[in-house]
Amino acid sequence: MSLRLAIILPTYNERKNLRPLVAKLDAALKGIEWEAVIVDDNSPDGTADEARAISLDDPRVRVIERIGRRGLASAAIEGMCATAAPMVAVMDADHQHDPALLPQMLAALESGDYDVAYGSRFAEGASAAGLSSKGREKGSQLANKLARKVTGMELSDPMSGYFMLPARILRADAHRLSGVGFKILLDILATVEGPLRVKELPLTFAQRAEGESKLDRTVVFEFLIGLYDKWLGRIIPTRFALFGTIGAAGVVVHMAVLTTVLRLNGGDGFVFGRWITEFDVGQSIAAVVAMTFNFVLNNALTYADKRLAGFGPLMRGWLRFAVTCSVGMLSNIGVAAILVRSGFHPYPSAIVGIVIGSVWNYALSSRFVWGKYK
Ligand code: GDD
Ligand code: MN
């Protein structure tokens, strides 16, 4: 008998969920040759060690441990590319996705009648009871409505994280998937050329067993990111667009703080004798506030998948961000100054400086603030 199915389990802090899940897979997949690929992003709770321990007892379980990387979508893609099984499934490792659907998905695909099968929380007979909040349920439904417009497909739950497809379909287009965020099924549906025949199976979406959800960006936000990524992401990368938008909001914050400081001070010009003007003070306070504002928003949104948490990491990240931004500012001023001296008009020169400074800030901070080897 040869391998028929690989179940990809992206994990982040799911140590306690693994053993019971493998037992459930074993029970649900009797008579089917399967393997499970656990793709763990070096979870602090030791998920990868637990996965290796399970693998020693049961070699059908394999482990990919990624160091310095985060992200559900990219983990799922790498897992799907790391198996020889002809069919690949992706599911949450937290027991929210009922393994009993796997044989039905497999049967639908092996019959040749379908190209993708997935578990829908909103199909006839399904239940989304496990969605952590009403808001999240609403968000999911709205995102689904939008998704239907984009893919042109009538799916009740394109944001589902539980699906199966032939590995060759996935691999043929793997290089074109965005790998950002968590709308991986949607990404596949929107990327693969030609109409896919989709089999929908009603899923009873359970509460997660142990631990907590990592996907606390709202589905709607995630979805908008996904849309942007598909439409413009190739010209201006999604993360950079977010970074830039937040940077622009930072400029507004800067101006507001500067204005406030100047107003409060009554405009009599000097604060500390003749060398330090109130403008210098206002400009410095505004720069620090705007920089902090940018740091917080980038940490929450742009790098939500690599978010820094806890006092120590946040302070270190903030300091690194500050250093990065000062280098960016120097290159900004430097480039603009050179341009003006070579006869360019000040405004375009300023813009070129700003763009170069932002690219620099982005490149450096994604490496040194939210990147690997922190
Ligand atoms: N390797 C890796 N890296 N795995 C991750 C990461 C990551 O950065 N973030 C989350 N995971 C794993 C989790 O450990 C879990 O096994 C699975 O991916 C889904 O994460 P959850 O934290 O359980 O997500 P959720 O239940 O809130 O979200 C569900 O609904 C979404 C749509 O609303 C999931 O089914 C998503 O797949 C789905 O898109
Ligand atoms: Mn989950």
In the prediction, which pLDDT does 373 show? 44
Q: How far is the CA of 286 from the centre of ligand 2 (A)?
A: 41
- Give the helix ranges, DSSP H, for the chain: 15-28, 47-57, 72-80, 101-110, 134-151, 167-173, 184-191, 219-231, 238-264, 278-297, 311-341, 346-368
Q: How far is the CA of 242 from the centre of ligand 2 (A)?
A: 26
Closest ligand 1 atom to residue 216 Cα is 27
In the prediction, which pLDDT does 182 show? 65
Q: How far is the CA of 344 from the centre of ligand 1 (A)?
A: 50
Bridge partners, 164 (sequence order)? 89, 117
Pocket test for ligand 1, best of 18, 72, 134 (most atoms within 8 A of CB): 72
pLDDT in tens, the chain (374 residues): 799 999 999 999 999 999 999 999 999 999 999 999 999 999 999 999 999 999 999 999 999 999 978 888 889 999 999 999 999 999 999 999 999 999 999 999 999 999 999 999 988 888 877 776 777 777 777 777 777 776 777 788 888 899 999 999 999 999 888 776 667 888 888 888 878 899 999 999 888 888 887 766 566 677 777 778 777 777 888 889 999 999 999 999 999 998 898 888 765 666 666 677 778 888 889 999 999 999 999 998 888 877 888 899 999 999 999 999 999 989 888 998 999 999 998 888 888 998 899 999 999 998 899 885 44
Closest ligand 1 atom to residue 161 Cα is 37
Closest ligand 1 atom to residue 76 Cα is 1
Pocket test for ligand 1, best of 7, 11, 64 (most atoms within 8 A of CB): 11
Ligand 1 in reach of 303 Cβ (< 6 A) = no
C-beta contacts of 218-222 below 8 A and 24+ residues apart: 218/135, 218/136, 218/139, 219/136, 219/139, 219/140, 219/142, 219/143, 219/159, 219/183, 220/139, 220/142, 220/143, 221/301, 222/143, 222/181, 222/182, 222/183
Residue 12: other Cβ atoms inside 10 A? 21
Ligand 1 in reach of 137 Cβ (< 6 A) = no
**Closest listed residue to residue 80, CA positions, set 180, 169, 15, 14:** 169
Pocket test for ligand 1, best of 182, 184, 219 (most atoms within 8 A of CB): 182
Q: Which amino acid is at 286?
A: A
Q: How far is the CA of 247 from the centre of ligand 1 (A)?
A: 29
Helix (H) or strand (E) holding 272: strand 270-272
Ligand 1 in reach of 213 Cβ (< 6 A) = yes
**Closest listed residue to residue 366, CA positions, set 242, 269, 264:** 242
Closest ligand 1 atom to residue 94 Cα is 16
Ligand 1 in reach of 131 Cβ (< 6 A) = no
Residue 340: other Cβ atoms inside 10 A? 16
Q: Are 94 and 211 in contact (CB under 8 A)?
A: yes
Q: Which domains does the chain have, with CATH numbers?
A: 5-212 (3.90.550.10), 238-368 (no CATH)
Pocket test for ligand 1, best of 69, 122, 141, 215 (most atoms within 8 A of CB): 215
Residue 114: other Cβ atoms inside 10 A? 20
Give this prediction's pTM.
0.77
Q: How far is the CA of 56 from the centre of ligand 1 (A)?
A: 25
